[in-house]
Amino acid sequence: MVHKIALVTGAGTGVGRAITLALARDGWSVALAGRRPQPLHDLADELRAAGHEGLAVPADVADPGAVESLFAAIRTTYGRLDLLVNNAGRNAPAVPLEDLELTDWQGVVDVNLTGAFLCTQQAVRLMKSQTPRGGRIINNGSLSAHTPRPQSAPYTATKHAITGLTKATALDGRDHGIACGQIDIGNAETPMTARMADGVRQPDGSIRVEPTMDVNDVGRAVAYMASLPLDANVPFMTVMATGMPFLGRG
């Protein structure tokens, strides 16, 4: 059996971990990338213990050299790549826009946008050259690709930009058998959303507890997108906690 090869960035925890597990259950061999080595190696061990194949490659997607080394490891180990999931991301302190430090802005741009671009660039090069050629790229857009939370200019700006990158990649990859889509996630239950239980600031200034959803539902959604043949694509999918204040006026 020929295994399909996937790369998930930000794979060690949270959404990335759930995506990795869902893909492995569907028969993918998964390369795991992230800045912290230990969660990656722990997850790779968990995959192997369950009879799956996982390759842990610590890498900071904001570092062009690290991204090149990441893809060199994939070429050496597997010889090809069928799926890239651009999931790695970070946020900045929730402060008024005028008080945001430039270094905090740049740090979010470097990971959320430039990191996704660098990985996409390397993936497209490999997908164009491999035999059989082609592959799929799935970007984590977030609901912030549509609607901001208060005091979230860097995150919101980068996630809106991810939508542009998704559309451009889908267009430029069309003639090369490369499909690209985006999943927009709202309130998946992870350590990053633990604060929802204590309430988060709303646009009207109030603090409100928000519902969350099982992060494994995100994994299953991405696995579905990844399961399609390359002549079919989900350009955009939204998966969110049903009761969160997103649709309508809250």
Q: Decide if pLDDT at 3 tops 90.
A: no
Terminal alpha carbon distance of the chain: 49
Q: Is the pTM of this model over 0.85?
A: yes
For residues 239 and 183, the answer to whether their CB atoms sit within 8 Å is yes
**Position 2 pLDDT exceeds 60:** no
Confidence tier at 1 by pLDDT (50, 70, 90) = very low
- 3-state SS, 13-65, equals CHHHHHHHHHHHHCCCEEEEEECCHHHHHHHHHHHHHCCCCEEEEECCCCCHH
Q: Which of 122, 155, 181, 189 is catalytic?
A: 155
Q: Which domains does the chain have, with CATH numbers?
A: 5-240 (3.40.50.720)
> Is residue 78 annotated as part of the catalytic site, yes or no?
no
Q: What is the pLDDT of residue 198?
A: 79
Q: Give me the mean pLDDT over the 7-35 stretch.
A: 97
Percentage of the chain with pLDDT > 90? Answer: 87
